[in-house]
Structure 1
Amino acid sequence: MLRFGCSQTVIDRIDPLVDPGKIPSPHVHQVVGGNAFNATMPVTNIASVASCTSCQFDQDFSNYWTASIYFKARNGTYKRVETMANAQVNGANGGITVYYTSPGAKQVTAFKPGFRMFSGDPNRRTPSGLGMKATQSCYRCFTGPNFQGNTYSPCFDPKLDTEGFPTTPCPGGIRSSVIFPLCWDGKNLDSPNHIDHVAHPVGGPASFAVTNGKCPSTHPVKIPQVHLEIVWDTTKITKADWPTDGSQPLVLSNGDTTGYGQHGDYVFGWKDDTLQRAMDNACFGPTCKGLTTQAFPAANKCTVKPAVKEDSAGWVKEIPGQMAGMAGM
């Protein structure tokens, strides 16, 4: 299992996977990884296009992005919730923690140049019905500073993990988890919906770090399980800030007030065969024999200038890209 941090590269309203070339795209994303990120990204070896990465492993020029989260104040205005460094990722400028997991050495096939995929359903507003341990998206409500309450694996805590937004304030922050499928058809680097070329094991979606399921005959190649963690800094949001009717005040940047529409995007960009070597060598955590890392002061400098000029940090009357009133629907 690789587990490493990637600092924030850009907050922007572009999406080269779902809405390539569209400036602006429908909703705001927070992005990490290589500086090749753009409204359009060619199906090529991204590692040969990028010149820096915001990730700890400096061979990883991939891009990972998710929808941002906004806080709705009692007066109806919105402010984007900042991300903060995850546990054991000291020094990162917010961003995303990335996992690559395999059942053991030499048991998965690393992604090929040009590979990309998507996880989640932005239009979903109800539970998946899979049960918490099999859901591919969840939130953990930390009960206090320093990730207090962080005991169980992601999506396994019966009290602090929820598939939709937490229904109570989270004084230690909220951690999002987005988990990608772990089986590939072995042929297509992408598909029209960015989902059909990958699949879950025959027994259904795998829990985090449970990667020994059998792949279906249509998607026989086992790939690393990619898992994204984002920690949202809700430490300053108290019950006094919540709506008077008790409803929770968080909204995904696509207008989803339930949180069920959380999703993640991935464009592969590891240099040469470094990811395959990491998986074959059964590396663990943020270090790996044969791979090199960079400190966060260097990683934090790898940023991209936003393509869309709009307020991404202050209070706004409506979430960028969403019609007035839509975010309350």
Structure 2
Amino acid sequence: MQWYTLFTLILAVPSSAIVRFHCSQLVTQRLDPLVNPGLIPSSHVHQIVGGNSFNATMDPKKDMPGHSTCTTCQFGDDFSNYWTATLYFRAQNGSYKRVHTIGNNQFETANGGLTIYYMQDAIYTSNQSSKVTAFKPGFRMFIGDISARSLEQAERFRQLTYVCMDTWTQRAPESIHFPNRPCPDGITISQRFPTCWDGVNLDSPDHMSHMAYPETGTFESGGPCPATHPVRTPQVFFEVVWDTKPFNNLTWPVDENNQTVNPFVWSFGDATGYANHADYVFGWKGDALQKIMDTDSYFNSTGSGARLPLQTIEQMNNCTQAPIVTEDIDGWLTSLSGGYQSQYS
């Protein structure tokens, strides 16, 4: 579901709460304090947005608002960090070139990055059926399977999808694999996190087990949370627009049968798209996020209450962080950083 559809729904659902905002790029490098804490460099390249206290360790006790001096997010109180793997184009000769993100609709002048949503279940149903509790300091989570290379392996993460954009408003149906044709206006990736918390653990060894989707498997069903995870949280939803346009007229690779194959590959080698994944570390200041969740009809950073400080896109773009892992990630590369090559199985 894209932003313009959500906007239509919210007009009909006055008791709901949603916020959509953008976060410009903070840094792109091989660091992953959630899956590879303390490892410099981490296994593969990520694009990171949010507070500039991001580092290789991110101790759960860290005061993220207190340690940050700026944030790339539109909400000045949001010092969370959000990140995904980066996307590359593989040419017919086997070399790789990084694909950049662009600002989403209404944020086209942003320095790449991600569009973030926090939503209540009323967005998908006719009324708000549950109390939504904001995350706590030290909370973090992960979604996806980095080793998935088939539909069977990826089916449990059907909330991670791709859309081939013909225009901003004309888009192909969602899929859980890479689009199989050139996309005139780029590829949008949607990453929807679980919405039921066990109410105890701020993290878990796999960074997923402390969270769950509703019993019926989807947030939008309005189904109850399982007894093991009784606390309803906002749905965190990343929307990432990859600017694949510069590669549409280049020669795409072919397989052993001389058939054109998808040329895009994640920074860890997945060329199927099934290993789509995302990371989230909560860092909102005070009770700012709870105020948003308790406010009716809160959309596109405006609403009837919870007036929180907003930044201009220029201020968001000015918050950057120098990479501590120095390597070429932007030239034509013979292999992906970390030594990865494209994998179709």
Give yes or no for TM over 0.5.
Answer: yes
Task: State the 1:243 CA deviation.
Answer: 1.7
- Secondary structure of the equivalent of 2:206? coil
Tell me the distance in 2 between the aligned counterparts of 1:298 and 1:211.
38
Task: State which of 172, 187, 204 in structure 1 corresponds to 2:185.
Answer: 172
Is contact 1:98–1:227 with CA below 8 Å preserved after alignment? yes
Matched-pair identity in %: 49
Call closer, same or farther: CA 1:304–1:240 in 2, change over 3 Å: closer
Q: 1:27-49 deviations in whole A, cap 9, x for unaligned?
A: 00001000011111011331122
- Calculate the aligned-residue CA RMSD, in Å: 1.9
The TM-score, its normalising length taken from structure 2, stands at: 0.86
5+ residue gaps, structure 1, are 151-158
Q: Which residue of 1 aligns with 2:287?
A: 273
Q: Which amino acid aligns with 2:143?
A: S
Does residue 1:204 correspond to 2:220, yes or no?
no
Tell me the distance in 2 between the aligned counterparts of 1:237 and 1:267.
32
Q: Which residue of 2 aligns with 1:28?
A: 45
5+ residue gaps, structure 2, are 1-17, 123-127
Is contact 2:272–2:344 with CA below 8 Å preserved after alignment? no
Tell me the distance in 1 between the aligned counterparts of 2:238 and 2:46.
14
Does residue 1:100 correspond to 2:124, yes or no?
no
Tell me the distance in 1 between the aligned counterparts of 2:342 and 2:280.
27
Call closer, same or farther: CA 1:131–1:24 in 2, change over 3 Å: closer
Task: State which of 321, 331, 335 in structure 2 corresponds to 1:314.
Answer: 331
Q: Which amino acid aligns with 1:21?
A: G
Q: Which amino acid aligns with 1:65?
A: W
**Structure number having the greater helix percentage:** 2
Is contact 1:81–1:233 with CA below 8 Å preserved after alignment? yes
Task: State the 1:90 CA deviation.
Answer: 3.3
Is contact 1:171–1:236 with CA below 8 Å preserved after alignment? no
Is contact 1:111–1:223 with CA below 8 Å preserved after alignment? yes
Task: State the 1:75 CA deviation.
Answer: 1.5
Q: 1:196-223 deviations in whole A, cap 9, x for unaligned?
A: 11111011133xxx27321011100000
Tell me the distance in 2 between the aligned counterparts of 1:301 and 1:128.
43
Does residue 1:284 correspond to 2:338, yes or no?
no
Q: Which residue of 2 aligns with 1:117?
A: 141
Does residue 1:55 correspond to 2:76, yes or no?
no
Tell me the distance in 2 between the aligned counterparts of 1:231 and 1:178.
12
Call closer, same or farther: CA 1:326–1:91 in 2, change over 3 Å: closer
Tell me the distance in 2 between the aligned counterparts of 1:178 and 1:118.
10
Is contact 1:46–1:61 with CA below 8 Å preserved after alignment? yes
Aligned residue pairs total: 314
Tell me the distance in 1 between the aligned counterparts of 2:344 and 2:227.
43
Q: 1:112-164 deviations in whole A, cap 9, x for unaligned?
A: 000000011111112258979x82111110114xx1414xxxxxxxx432210
- Secondary structure of the equivalent of 1:300? helix
Q: Which amino acid aligns with 2:52?
A: N
Q: How do 1:237-256 and structure 2 match up within 5 A?
A: 237-238=247-248, 240-244=250-254, 245-256=259-270
Does residue 1:149 correspond to 2:170, yes or no?
yes
Q: Which amino acid aligns with 1:66?
A: T
Task: State which of 85, 100, 107 in structure 1 corresponds to 2:103.
Answer: 85
Tell me the distance in 2 between the aligned counterparts of 1:326 and 1:247.
11
